[in-house]
Structure 1
Amino acid sequence: MATVFFLISIYLFFSAEISQSLQSNITKGSTLFTNSTPNFWLSPSGHFAFGFYPSGNGFKVGTWLIGRPRNTVVWTALRDEPALLPGVSLVFTTDGRLLVLNFTAVQLIAQTNQKAQVAAMHDSGNFLLYGSNMEVVWATFRFPTNTLLVTQELGPDKILYSSKSDTDDSAGDFKLWMQGDGNLVAYQSKSLQLVKYSYWSSLSKSNTRGVSLTFAADSRLYLVNSTGFSIRNLTGGTLPVNKTTLYRATFDVDGVLRLYQHQMGTDGSLNSIVLWSAINREDRCSVKGACGLNSYCDRNGADNIACLCPPGFDFADPNQPNKGCKLNSSVDNDCFLRGANDDYMISTLENTIWERDEYEVLTPCE
């Protein structure tokens, strides 16, 4: 009886998946333009869209959760490429490719081993390309950028990169790596992937191979091994699952992984709250690289942090305090070049914790 029930469940699951894709079919030859209305393809529920969204003075291709006061981008194609100029088109070609026609250039969105026959934007937030037998040949869920949605996973040795800012979805200053040893670890993007350079870890049992971070159907974040066995539940208890309550896990601009709940209003509003955070608000200065070179991080109230310069330094960019500090005197005024009788002042910074190794000499491999 259990076997029959399992087979029926599998049949219903795949039937539902195919049914959903058929409801939102995007046929070959379909084209979107940045300056057309609409310039996106909707999921059946209308909660998610795939297409062009505004970015700076141009557009990017991606997936977003629709809502007021603003949409929430959850996936971006060609992430580190410049924003697309107005007038370009997104085409699902007659030979089954998904690409951007950018005036004199062609940019491929989906790398596939076989040609797609149909595309679909699912209510899960997953945009898929299907082959002739309705097999999935490409899906946005397989290539996460900074966000995981329910039923999506971050596989072994895969990385989430934070965005540069709330308005720039290019890869930013931090990375969340699902390491081969079974630990989920956060680093500054440009640092070496060594323990001493990390600032957060799932503290999973070491040397457990084939571990993935899974956003399960019950809306909790799990670490599971290659057999599907749960190693650790990161986010705690059961969460309500219904058609108007959606969840996302985003590795945010500040280098912190957070679980969000979105409540969809009947008027199109989107009420969002943080349910779980890998790093508490009061510990956000523990994020290595939160402030740039020659600066230090300070808690600025319960919700914010501030990047400050030590005495004798000014911000490298006053408009971006997190980009670090520079000396406010020139080399000509350096103490070694002036008279030995000059006076200098040493200042004390109270309640400040410094890294043990501010700089390090790396020996190149032979």
Structure 2
Amino acid sequence: MALVLVIFLKVFFLLVTEGSLVNNSISYNISLGSYLTTLTNPSWLSPSGLFAFGFYQQDDGFAVGIWLTTKPEITVVWTANRDDPPLLLNSTVEFTRDGWLVLVTTYGEHKSIIDQSDPATSASMFDSVSSVSASQYSSGRFVLKMQDDGNLVAYPQNSSMWDSDAYWSSGTLSGFYESLVLNRDGSLYIKGYADVQKVLNPSTSSRLKKNETIVFRATLSPQGNFLLYSHRFTNLSSNSTRVMEWEALQDPCKAKGICGVNSYCSTTAREAECHCFPGFSFFTNSSNGKFLGCYRNFTDEEACSRRGLQLSYKITALDNMEVGAYPYSDMNLSKEACINSCLDDCNCWVGLYTNGSCKMLKVPVIYAELDKSKLATVFIKTSFPKVKDQQHEPPAPLEIPEQNAVAERKKLVSILAITLGFFALMCTLMAFSSFFYYRVHARRYQRMSENVDFGLLSDHFTLRSFSFEELHKATDGFKEVIGRNSIGEVYKGFISEGTKAVAVKRLHTRMLEGDKRFQAEITAIAQTHHRNLVRLLGFCIHGATKLLVYEFMSNGSLADLLSNPETQPGWQERASLALDVARGILYLHQECETRIIHCNIKPHNILFDESWTAKISDFGLSKLLRPDQSGTLTGVRGTTGYLAPEWHKNNLISTKVDIYSFGVVFLEILCCTGDMEIEISRDDKMSLFTWVYNCFEAKELKRLVGDEEVDMYMLEKMVKVGLLCVQDDPEARPLIKDVILMLEGTTDIPTPPSPILSLM
């Protein structure tokens, strides 16, 4: 059976008009086959022109919705598919000839705008619109919910929606309800099967004037307050006056969770101010960002294990607090005992004390409010480095009698003279020994170099020590530069009488950490042998000059491949390439004798040999791990954009930093781009994550690969793996062996959360 489709709101924005300017019985009919575009025909208007439906500007794109045509800015009252990313140019809204209202994206994807069970014969835009819905869920941080008992209740979005989480209710307990109605006079009431109960009945600020139209709008604000506005239009003009007629909360801090997790709200001049708990920091310091909550720079598990790293703890007390959280322990203790119990429990980060009740909490704390009427005290545990005990001052020397002073001085001078003479003799002997040792070993290294046949490489090939003169000659005086970065320059050269090409890296002096450390690390790297690692062939130590000799990779780097449209790999090649890189990292992390954290995985360090096999290169920033080590402390290493967040937090660095860098590279391989030109800045890698995640959430993965024909099931699987690898929390990233298993299809892939703010 055909239906008549009326464009109306299906979310909790209620609007009604009052006035006599227009004949509301007249509607603008929208015929089958009509359509809207983002540029030429963006909207359909109501008869009065006060309401519009269609495309409106949002961020750098467009959204589809209904709005009041107020000036200078429109007042949006409803948005279709509100959690989707902004639409691009050339998107259309079509009222198809077979009676369906659909959105067609730039990429040809069809999306439903409203719920339709049957096709329609026509559509109209009215001047009086309102909504009726069994429950109302917003995509923001707060939600208004119509409960089964007829009570309209406001909750934080990310709460359990128990009675203790509610911060406002209408108090309309009417049993079963039928509808929620905003009347023409601005009153809001709930209509049940047997009765009607008013939610609010405000008196408008002034009476209706001649040639004036009033539009009432009820909305849940981003700060969680339920508000009623009136918009007054005169002479059919879009110029309007907005007046707030009623608000549910007089104190903005009563909206539980307004300041986000791990923070508390205080009210000053009816404005909400957000404060982090001691030891926590805002996710962002922008004025609006302070409502997003606060974080610590390490997790509970790390805190428990850090006791051995000379950390201590203290308690900061905050009185007159109301806290919303779920304790894991609730005991009857005194205030002092409550504090000590939290200090001794590595899982306790927040304690809540009220009249002998001691509750212990983990983080995050969902919400907290400073309220002078409350008696609860909150204890926040913070960590700080232990201060070593000051050693006792050495006892003051005994006073020497004057008659013995001269004898004591002579004795001291004799001892010093004998000691200095002995050290001078030892230094002379060591100098001669070092000279002869160097001469003997220099001849030995020279004989070894002369006897090695570099044309016969085998699995048992050992690292070769080159002389500086050999490499100077091999590179024609370091003439041909084939690469350069912050670590050093790479030159092309030829050894074995000019028959074998090699790459010679000359390290910058500032990057070196001593000859012994340099030799230890290159010895460990020399023991690595894998088809997906560039082979280190030899080295040279010539005073302060350090050089490394690698096998030559004839087909350039992944960065070159992705940046050139003519050489970009196809879909199958991309999948194979990603697996090659992952297998190389697996060898470094788990299979070689000394585990290695590469620390600088990026497209420039992934090279291709003559058969286009991908190999990881450049171990100049690598860190070695002992078998019993899970991580190490070191300064920031690597390239901006590929650095894991823990580099900047002075945390232990583990193999998970390579997983993060691999995730960035993996997403670039999937999108087949070395610099994101589609709405994303190349220098902001987080924008890449956001873009990919939004496409994944919106099920628009086709946007990542354009017109290229790909296996969409495989693409989705690979995108999920890439997003798992770039999580802010290292514990949320998979091990590289699990990455390979997921890519090969032998294990399930969990749905990744957003990579931003994942430590909340």
Query: What TM-score bracket applies, with the shorter chain setting the length?
Result: 0.7 to 0.9
After TM superposition, give the deviation of residue 212 of structure 1 in Å: 3.2
After TM superposition, give the deviation of residue 117 of structure 1 in Å: 1.8
Alignment of 1:316 onto 2:316: no
Partner of 1:134: none
Which one of the candidate residues 242, 251, 267 is aligned to 1:272? 242
Does structure 2 retain, via aligned residues, the 8 Å contact 1:62–1:76? yes
Does structure 2 retain, via aligned residues, the 8 Å contact 1:100–1:108? yes
After TM superposition, give the deviation of residue 230 of structure 1 in Å: 2.0
Which one of the candidate residues 314, 324, 337 is aligned to 1:355? 324
Alignment of 1:26 onto 2:30: yes
Higher deviation after alignment, 53-62 or 229-238: 229-238
Equivalent position SS for 2:177: coil
Amino acid at match of 2:192: N
Alignment of 1:181 onto 2:158: no
Which one of the candidate residues 128, 131, 136 is aligned to 1:159? 136
Higher relative contact order (CA 8 A, sep 6+): 1
After TM superposition, give the deviation of residue 233 of structure 1 in Å: 4.0
Distance 1:355 1:309, change over 3 A: same
After TM superposition, give the deviation of residue 343 of structure 1 in Å: 6.0
Alignment of 1:225 onto 2:192: yes
CA distance in 1, matches of 2:319, 2:167: 23
Distance 1:114 1:356, change over 3 A: closer
Distance 1:338 1:113, change over 3 A: closer
Equivalent position SS for 1:353: strand
CA distance in 2, matches of 1:345, 1:263: 57
Partner of 1:147: none
After TM superposition, give the deviation of residue 274 of structure 1 in Å: 0.8
CA distance in 1, matches of 2:132, 2:249: 19
TM normalised by structure 2 equals: 0.37
Distance 1:34 1:338, change over 3 A: same
Partner of 1:43: 46
Equivalent position SS for 1:196: helix
CA distance in 1, matches of 2:230, 2:81: 27
After TM superposition, give the deviation of residue 232 of structure 1 in Å: 2.7
Equivalent position SS for 1:244: strand
- 1:238-253 aligned at under 5 Å gives the runs 240=207, 243-253=212-222
After TM superposition, give the deviation of residue 109 of structure 1 in Å: 1.6
Does structure 1 retain, via aligned residues, the 8 Å contact 2:280–2:296? yes
- 1:54-133 aligned at under 5 Å gives the runs 54-102=57-105, 103-124=107-128, 126=129
Identity %: 37
CA distance in 1, matches of 2:44, 2:124: 8
Q: Deviations for 1:312-351, whole angstroms, at most 9, x for unmatched residues?
A: 1111233311221122578899487347997644333344
Equivalent position SS for 2:87: coil
Does structure 2 retain, via aligned residues, the 8 Å contact 1:178–1:212? no
Does structure 1 retain, via aligned residues, the 8 Å contact 2:172–2:199? no
Does structure 2 retain, via aligned residues, the 8 Å contact 1:154–1:178? no
Alignment of 1:293 onto 2:261: yes
CA distance in 1, matches of 2:108, 2:199: 49
Does structure 2 retain, via aligned residues, the 8 Å contact 1:28–1:117? yes
Amino acid at match of 1:35: L
Which one of the candidate residues 266, 274, 278 is aligned to 1:307? 274
CA distance in 1, matches of 2:101, 2:38: 16
CA distance in 1, matches of 2:310, 2:60: 55
Alignment of 1:191 onto 2:144: no
Equivalent position SS for 2:316: coil
Distance 1:300 1:88, change over 3 A: same
CA distance in 2, matches of 1:158, 1:330: 37
Amino acid at match of 2:117: N
After TM superposition, give the deviation of residue 115 of structure 1 in Å: 2.1
Q: Deviations for 1:213-250, whole angstroms, at most 9, x for unmatched residues?
A: 211233211122124x3223423347856752111001
Does structure 2 retain, via aligned residues, the 8 Å contact 1:218–1:241? no
Partner of 1:216: 183
After TM superposition, give the deviation of residue 358 of structure 1 in Å: 5.6
Equivalent position SS for 2:26: helix
Does structure 2 retain, via aligned residues, the 8 Å contact 1:96–1:117? yes
Which one of the candidate residues 173, 177, 202 is aligned to 1:236? 202
Amino acid at match of 1:271: T
After TM superposition, give the deviation of residue 180 of structure 1 in Å: 0.8
- Higher fraction of strand: 1
TM normalised by structure 1 equals: 0.74
Does structure 1 retain, via aligned residues, the 8 Å contact 2:186–2:202? no
Amino acid at match of 1:268: S
After TM superposition, give the deviation of residue 306 of structure 1 in Å: 1.7
Q: How many residues align?
A: 301
Amino acid at match of 1:109: I
CA distance in 1, matches of 2:190, 2:244: 20
Partner of 2:56: 53
Equivalent position SS for 1:158: coil
CA distance in 2, matches of 1:250, 1:298: 24
Structure 2: which 5+ residue stretches go unaligned? 1-22, 329-360, 363-760
Distance 1:30 1:332, change over 3 A: closer
